[in-house]
Chains A and B, each alone.
Chain A
Amino acid sequence: DAGITQSPRHKVTETGTPVTLRCHQTENHRYMYWYRQDPGHGLRLIHYSYGVKDTDKGEVSDGYSVSRSKTEDFLLTLESATSSQTSVYFCAISGTSQNEQFFGPGTRLTVL
């Protein structure tokens, strides 16, 4: 299995509070991604990174920000959580010539 961990694995928070999710990889892959998974929508890309300090927006980036100060860590921040951000969040990494993405275990976030 690709060395990807996510923390926390579960979190319950209240509307309006800031939340940071962490993705950590040990594969030294260049690309890292944050997705959210909601029923009926598959996975939707929030933000991605193509190198240290290099990030870009995905399909559903509103309300989210990211940072990548080291190759191995990619942080997703919800500045002020809303109930619509209740979801399962997956981190993925990619760095092979086939562009195959490998996924972390996921974080289940509930915003009350």
Chain B
Amino acid sequence: ELKVEQNPLFLSMQEGKNYTIYCNYSTTSDRLYWYRQDPGKSLESLFVLLSNGAVKQEGRLMASLDTKARLSTLHITAAVHDLSATYFCAVDMEYGNKLVFGAGTILRVKS
């Protein structure tokens, strides 16, 4: 059974600081997705990582995938208040076009 663990589950950080959210998963997969959710809203796709060593960047966020370590990271550079949200990673099960989600990381950026 595929399990996906995110840490930390809650992150409070100062504006301008850097931090990393980690996503570990338990079985083989080479497809991983990051989503953002604002309070009371739906999920918005941030990054699609489809192979070992994949790296994607958008603004102050950068995501990477290491399939050998079964680990993805979401790195935040020089955080700003607008990045406050909940971030989810999701891993594609090897068969069946199904995603397993982590519990989510609540990010609060304080000014």
A interface list, Cβ under 8 A from B:
31, 33, 40-45, 48, 50, 56, 58-59, 90, 94, 98-106
New contact pairs (9) apart from A33-B98, A59-B100, A104-B42, CB-CB < 8 Å: A42-B101, A43-B90, A45-B98, A50-B97, A56-B96, A58-B98, A94-B97, A98-B31, A98-B48
B101 touching A48, Cβ below 8 Å: no
B interface list, Cβ under 8 A from A:
4, 31, 33, 35, 41-45, 48, 50, 88, 90, 92, 96-104
Given contacts A40-B103, A41-B103, A42-B103, contact A103 B42 (CB under 8 A): yes
A31 touching B42, Cβ below 8 Å: no
A105 touching B48, Cβ below 8 Å: no
B103 touching A99, Cβ below 8 Å: no
Given contacts A50-B97, A101-B33, A101-B99, contact A42 B43 (CB under 8 A): no
Given contacts A42-B104, A43-B88, A98-B50, contact A105 B42 (CB under 8 A): yes
A45 touching B99, Cβ below 8 Å: yes
A43 touching B101, Cβ below 8 Å: yes
Task: Report the minimal beta-carbon distance from B1 to chain A, rounded to whole angstroms.
Answer: 9
**B50 — which chain A residues lie within 8 A by C-beta?**
98
A103 to B92, CA, bound (A): 16
**A58 — which chain B residues lie within 8 A by C-beta?**
98
Given contacts A90-B42, A90-B43, contact A44 B97 (CB under 8 A): no
Contact of A100 among B48, B96, B104 (CB under 8 A): B48
A106 to B44, CA, bound (A): 12
A43 to B92, CA, bound (A): 13
Task: Report the minimal beta-carbon distance from B66 to chain A, rounded to whole angstroms.
Answer: 19
A99 to B94, CA, bound (A): 12
**Minimal Cβ-Cβ distance residue in B for A105:** B42
Task: Report the minimal beta-carbon distance from A48 to chain B, rounded to whole angstroms.
Answer: 6
